[in-house]
Amino acid sequence: MTAALLVEQLLNGLQLGVMLFLTAAGLTLVFGVMGLINLAHGSLYMTGAFVCALVAGLTGSFWVGLVAGALAAAAAGALVELTVIRRLYDRDHLDQVLATFALILIFSEGTRWIYGAQPLWLDVPDALSGAVTLPGGAQYPLYRLAIIVAGLAVALGLHLLIARTRLGMRIRAGESDREMIGALGVDIGRLYTAVFALGAGLAGLAGAMVGALQSVQVGMGEPVLILAFVVIVIGGIGSVTGALVGAVLVGVTDTLGRVFLPMAFAQVMPPAEASGVGSALASVLIYVLMAVVLVWRPQGLFPAP
């Protein structure tokens, strides 16, 4: 193992974490402000990727596609909130899970109906293709570096939005006392729609960015959704800071575990077995992390006040 490999894997972990943050931020806000479990969040992520691929294909510009993907996901989120989610706030969590699970099925089949069963093509923009040499001699894909920068910029923007703006003040107020801000004359319905659309837009942005790296296909959102839930449980439900810390923690743990556990086992057993045992153990590592965090701090790392 060389230092270059370790640096590269740390960056990979950070990049995965940043992507997870974009998805988890919306999920944790929606849960924190509205008390709603939204399983269909992964479908909004998928919507962002599909619209980005479609628009990038039509216009020839990835950037136009990226903006369109995020906006389309936000619009889809607002629409879903107005038509379905709105009816679920007063129901218990089981009803919410059932209804949003139905939304996953509707989104998946609808997407297949519109775009077909085959994966779509979306490529990294020319300006960001290829690899750059890092200080120390390691090579790293430029596009992944761009994702890290973009994700951290969004995190900063989200922090400023919540800490410094009127909308952010209302979101914070909504988290701590829903009835009271309603009584103070804030239009709670519009606030909920705005928060839901914001979360959906972030998920759509993440989907569009990852779509260029992976494949744009039906069902791409669900694996991310599971990880995003792990992230918000670790970070503390309702906390955006917690989501950022949790996401980076999960990203780095998952990446390093996948690489170094098989290597560690290879010291004591034949390579083929080590690879099998190591990768099997690596895939449960983040859940072990979650269990440890929950034993230590049952409310997560940054519990919402």
Q: Is 271 in the site for other proteins (CB under 8 A)?
A: yes
Q: Is 131 in the site for other proteins (CB under 8 A)?
A: yes
Can you say whether residue 165 is alpha, beta or left, with left for phi > 0 and alpha for psi between -120 and 50 degrees?
A: beta
DSSP label at 120? B
Task: Give the C-alpha distances (Å, rounded to integers) separating 169 from 33, 79, 112, 156, 175.
Answer: 12, 24, 40, 16, 10
In the bound state with other proteins, the residue whose beta carbon lies nearer, of 241 and 279, is 279
User: Pick from 5, 149, 180, 226: which binds other proteins (CB under 8 A)?
Assistant: 5
R_g over Cα of the chain: 20
Amino acid in position 243 = A
In the bound state with other proteins, the residue whose beta carbon lies nearer, of 39 and 216, is 216
- Minimum CB distance to other proteins, residue 32 (Å): 28
Q: Is 136 in the site for other proteins (CB under 8 A)?
A: no
How far is residue 32's CA from residue 65's CA, in Å, rounded to a whole number? 30
Site residues for other proteins, window 221-260 (CB under 8 A)?
223, 255, 258-259
| CA 135, chain centre distance (Å) | 29
Amino acid in position 150 = A
Only segment of 98-106, 111-119, 174-182, 230-238 that touches other proteins (CB under 8 A): 111-119
Q: Is 114 in the site for other proteins (CB under 8 A)?
A: no
Amino acid in position 99 = A
Is-contact 22 154, C-beta < 8 A?
yes
Q: Is 149 in the site for other proteins (CB under 8 A)?
A: no
Q: Is 4 in the site for other proteins (CB under 8 A)?
A: yes
Residues binding other proteins: number (CB under 8 A): 46
Can you say whether residue 270 is alpha, beta or left, with left for phi > 0 and alpha for psi between -120 and 50 degrees?
A: beta
Give residues in contact with other proteins (CB under 8 A): 1-2, 4-5, 8-9, 12, 15-16, 112, 117-121, 123-124, 129-131, 139, 141-144, 210, 212-215, 217-220, 223, 255, 258-259, 262, 271-272, 275-276, 279-280, 283
